[in-house]
Amino acid sequence: MQSSSEYSDPIPVRTLANLVQQHLVTGSPSKSSPPSQSRSSGSPVGSPVAEEIPVPYHLPGVAITHDVYTHANSLIMAHSLQRSKSTSDLKVKAGKVLHDSDNEDEIAFENLDKPGGFRRFHVQQQQQQQQTERDTNEPSAFSELFRPNSVASSDSFTNTDYSAILRTDSLAPTATVGSWTKPKATRHFLEYLAYTSVLDRFAGENLSDSEEEDTGETRDEEQQVEGEGAPLLRHRRPYRRKPSEDIATERAKHKTGTIKTMLLLFKAFIGSGILFLPKAFSNGGLGFSIVVIWLMGFISLYCFLLLLDCKNYIAGSYGDIGGALYGTWMRYMVLFSVAISQLGFVCGGTIFIAENMGEAIYALSHGTLEVSTTTLLIIIALLLMPLVLIRNIAKLSPTALFSDVLIVAGLVTLLLFDIVHILFQAPEGSHPPTTGPNIIWWINPVQYPVFVGTAVYAFEGIGLIIPIRDSMEEPAKFPWVLTVVMAMVATSLCLVGSLGYVAFGSDVKTVALLNLPPGALTLSVQIGYAVAIHLSNALVLFPTIRIVEQAIFGDRTGKHNIKVKWQKNVLRFIIVVIVGLIAWGGASDLDKFVSLIGSVCCCPLSLIFPAMFHLRLPKTMGFQRLVDTGLIIFGVGVMLFTLWNTSKQWAASG
């Protein structure tokens, strides 16, 4: 008998039932009890409802899927009888199920009645028998005669174990580049199905577009149009797949090390928002702004760590975590928040581009040509439309790399100029170092609420926390990596904001690059940064487009349907038009517009949802529950406070 070590780690009943139910037809949502009714105070996270799922006899293929529903129901009922059992022996880390217990005695025949269990057991038995025959150098006539096509062949068995092909990286055995080992076999179909249920994408969501995805698991050549001279019958080219070892090795090569993870995180938090900070510091006052930046950085970091703690217990994406804890409505809330936050970032970036390009055109024409903001926004929207038609996000990576270089160059130039302006450029009658006029050194009692929303906006990278964490070679190191990066981000934000405000005082522009003096270098930086943000906007808008498309079109694809494809194209154009209209409405007062985006779009994702999810975990007790509740109240308070005050000031100024 083959040892249990050759199999993947056993999946507990609770987790197996949860993951399998994602693939079953359960009828209308109203038929199932809400999560709050199905979970006692001490029940495990994501406990399945103790109600059998009816077998959909009216659907095609029920003769095949009947066993899957039957055994899924048996898992649900088995778990309902074990709810009093402590969950301390179970953890789900990065989607891989781990047991604290070391039960090595496995009952060999316990999975024979499960779907696919008998076949897997039979293949394993034949493989073991064949291995014994090879060891004794006495192969049987049967195995020798039918060896090329036999399922007992060790060569064919290596390629027959498809469990590793569709298994996601987060569920695969922990491995580093150069030390990967062959994935272990699954015991039955339900276990295999559970291993294919976790996808790591933006915010953990599967936002890939199937219309443009071609993998190496297709035929080597596309089918060509045949001429009249082609033979009616020809030798068929074999359908060749990459061995599972090669595929898993390629996946392991895409794992990121600690340094690369730090760079990815830093880029996720540093975008166009950092250039709004000098003006934001004038709204808040220098001392108040520095304190709030570090305070919001600390609170945001703590909320990010709470989200990662939830990820340790519930496999899946940001939305999956919310759905498991609160129901489908929370998953939709998370997706909606992701969509509008990304849309808000693109709107802010579009206004930034318009203001920079307007100044650049005015300077290049020596003050003879002044293009209106409306005209520039129309041009920017038209230039963005071709980019949003790109359906494969990987094709946007070269533009992202180019934009990163331009952004870093622009920030370095801006910081150097601020330092030179403070230390060496003093007005007549004064000696360096000098500061700008009318600096508020502590707090601006009138406009400080505007800064709070901008501070939340500045920490804009929560959507990438889960996918970057899942891409690490060693996810256990991610919390301290995130802590270091957040300290670097807070330091960078304070440097850009404080130096820009101290250098120019009340004369500081809304966009920091507009403070640079006229000249070729300034024009180069302004145009380069505008191009960088424009190229990044297509990538930033991608999740919003995919979420809206999935909500409207579902699984319908335009790959072989030109009507659906153009319907999706028109939808993408409409989203770009909406971006332009929102940007046009917010262009008159950019700093307040950015504050509104931070309060409405970023507060739920960064401050409210992580604490809500962590509060629902059964392990959250005592003082930790008070902390989570306090964070929820704080997040809602910040959102409403900044929304009300910023809207009131915007209305008064307009």
Tens of pLDDT along 622-651? 888 899 999 999 889 888 888 887 787 777
Whether the Cβ atoms of residue 141 and residue 220 lie closer than 8 Å to each other: no
Given a cut of 80, whether residue 486 has pLDDT beyond it is: yes
Mean pLDDT of 10-19: 68
How many angstroms from the chain centroid is the CA of residue 604?
A: 16
Q: Residues of the chain with pLDDT > 70: what percent?
A: 62
Based on DSSP, count helices (H) and strands (E) in the chain, helices before strands.
23, 2
- Name the amino acid, one letter, at 247: I
- The pLDDT tens digits of the residues spanning 517-557 come to 877 888 888 888 888 888 878 777 888 888 888 888 877 77
CA distance to 364, 388, 516, 526, per residue, from 359 (Å)? 9, 26, 11, 9
Question: Which of 14-28, 378-392, 418-432 has the least mean pLDDT?
Answer: 14-28
| Model pLDDT, residue 162 | 33
Under 8 Å CB-to-CB from 461, ≥6 apart: which residues? 265, 268, 269
Secondary structure of 539-584 in the HEC alphabet?
Answer: HHHHHHHHHHHHHHHCCCCCCCCHHHHHHHHHHHHHHHHHHHHHHH
Averaged pLDDT for residues 166-180: 35
DSSP collapsed to 3 states, 519-548? CHHHHHHHHHHHHHHHHHHHHHHHHHHHHH
Q: Which segment of 196-205, 426-435, 442-451, 569-578 scores lowest on mean pLDDT?
A: 196-205
Q: What is the pLDDT of residues 42-92, one digit of tens each?
A: 444 444 345 677 777 667 776 667 677 776 777 776 665 554 444 334 334
Of the candidates 216, 222, 227, the one whose C-alpha atom is nearest the C-alpha of residue 237 is: 222
CB atoms within 10 A of CB 198: 23
Residue 81: what pLDDT?
Answer: 52
Give yes or no for residue 592 having a pLDDT over 70.
Answer: yes
Per-position DSSP letters for 396-462, written without gaps between them? GHHHHHHHHHHHHHHHHHHHHHHHHHHHH-PPTT--SS---TT--SS--TTTHHHHHHHHHHH---G
Q: How many Cβ atoms sit within 10 Å of the Cβ of residue 630?
A: 11
Residue scoring higher pLDDT (128 or 491)? 491
Homologous superfamily in CATH for domain 256-653: Amino acid/polyamine transporter I (1.20.1740.10)
pLDDT at 27: 56
Token pair for residue 332? 């939709």
pLDDT at 145 over 80: no
CA 433, 438, 443, 448 torsion-angle sign: negative
Higher pLDDT, 570 or 477: 570
Strand, helix or coil for residue 293: helix
The confidence band for 244, taking pLDDT boundaries of 50, 70 and 90, is very low
Domain boundaries of the chain, sorted by first residue: 4-106+161-200, 256-653
Sign of the CA dihedral 131, 175, 103, 192? negative
**Residue the block writes with tokens 């994935």:** 183
Q: What pLDDT sits at residue 88? A: 39
- Answer whether residue 110 shows pLDDT above 70: no
Q: Which residues contact 459 (CB under 8 A, 6 or more apart)?
A: 269, 296, 297, 300, 486, 489, 602, 606
Residues 318 and 205 sit within 8 Å (Cβ to Cβ)? yes
pLDDT digits (tens, 9 = 90+) for 322-375: 888 888 888 888 888 888 888 888 888 888 888 888 888 888 887 788 888 889
* Tokens 């006539």 -> residue: 141
Note whether 46 and 314 are within 8 A (CB): yes
What confidence tens digit (pLDDT) does each residue in 180-228 have? 334 456 777 767 766 665 433 445 455 555 454 444 434 343 444 444 4
pLDDT at 353 (0 to 100): 87
The pLDDT of residue 605 is above 80? yes
* Residue 266 confidence (pLDDT) above 80: no
